[in-house]
Amino acid sequence: MTEVTVAMADRSKALGRLANLRDLGGQPTGDGAWTRAGVVYRSDAPRAGDRSPDGVPQWPPRLVVDLRDTAEVGDQEHPLATVTEVQRVPLLEDIDQADLDVDEDAHELTQLYQSILQGAPKKLVEVFRLVLDADGPVLIHCAAGKDRTGVTSALLLGAVGVCRDAIVADYVRTDRNMYRVLQRLEVAPALPPGVDEDMVEGLMSTPTEAIESVLSTFEAHEGGAAGWLRAHGVTEDELTRWRRRFTEEP
């Protein structure tokens, strides 16, 4: 095989698997506990024909929560609908920007994330309850697995007291995956000769200030993300059940 043929085969193989998948287990909490593996996965959008991923305890998950809007999905069946339950919670759909108090001078992703927190709290609570009541691993995804998935992941991690730095670190892990994500979304072309992924990484970075604004919003409530959830109708019993489901004792 020629070098070109090998490169094309490697690219095809890479695009046949989720590019931004990870288990949210193994994250440290402030009281010395750790999040449990095999409870929540986050990723970019699955595609038909994807191979089973490595590095997760169970696949397929018992539940998929798809955060994409109707316009993104259209009338296509979810690729995993034949093997597991899929619930759609279109996180950005029907948000009324006129009702929001968002700093227009902030980074555009900070504005987006604040729009989600202010405009879709009921949907975030719905996702929380879907994950809480699932009887096995849950996959949460949007298109790239970066923004809507990032806010939702921060909420789930924060609700059990995962350290702020660990939540930020998980968020920025998407940086290293973004070129492959964009290729899977058919946004990024194949790289030309002499250009590697490191050279374009800066164009696809995940700004920490955006997710930090989410964490600051949570921290304005007593108990952080758990307090934010309480303020939006989640009960103490539900929060206790979530801590038991998602954390391992130190």
CA distances from 12 to 15, 56, 190 (A): 5, 22, 11
pLDDT tens per residue across span 98-122: 788 898 889 989 999 999 999 999 9
Q: State pTM to two decimals.
A: 0.89
What is residue 22's predicted lDDT score, i.e. its pLDDT? 97
Give 5's pLDDT tier (boundaries 50, 70, 90). Answer: very low
For residue 208, the Cα-to-chain-centroid distance in whole angstroms is 15
pLDDT tens per residue across span 138-186: 999 999 999 999 999 999 999 999 999 999 999 999 988 988 998 998 8
What is residue 205's predicted lDDT score, i.e. its pLDDT? 67
What is residue 249's predicted lDDT score, i.e. its pLDDT? 74
CA 68 – CA 64 distance, rounded (Å): 12
What is residue 7's predicted lDDT score, i.e. its pLDDT? 38
Helices (H), the chain: 3-15, 70-73, 108-119, 121-133, 148-158, 164-172, 178-184, 197-200, 208-219, 225-231, 236-246
Give 194's pLDDT tier (boundaries 50, 70, 90). Answer: low
DSSP bridge pairs for 86 = 64
What is residue 204's predicted lDDT score, i.e. its pLDDT? 59
pLDDT tens per residue across span 215-241: 999 999 999 999 999 999 999 999 999
What is residue 220's predicted lDDT score, i.e. its pLDDT? 98
What is residue 221's predicted lDDT score, i.e. its pLDDT? 98
Q: Domains in the chain, start-ordered, CATH in brackets?
A: 20-248 (3.90.190.10)
pLDDT tens per residue across span 69-106: 999 999 999 999 999 999 999 999 999 887 888 988 89
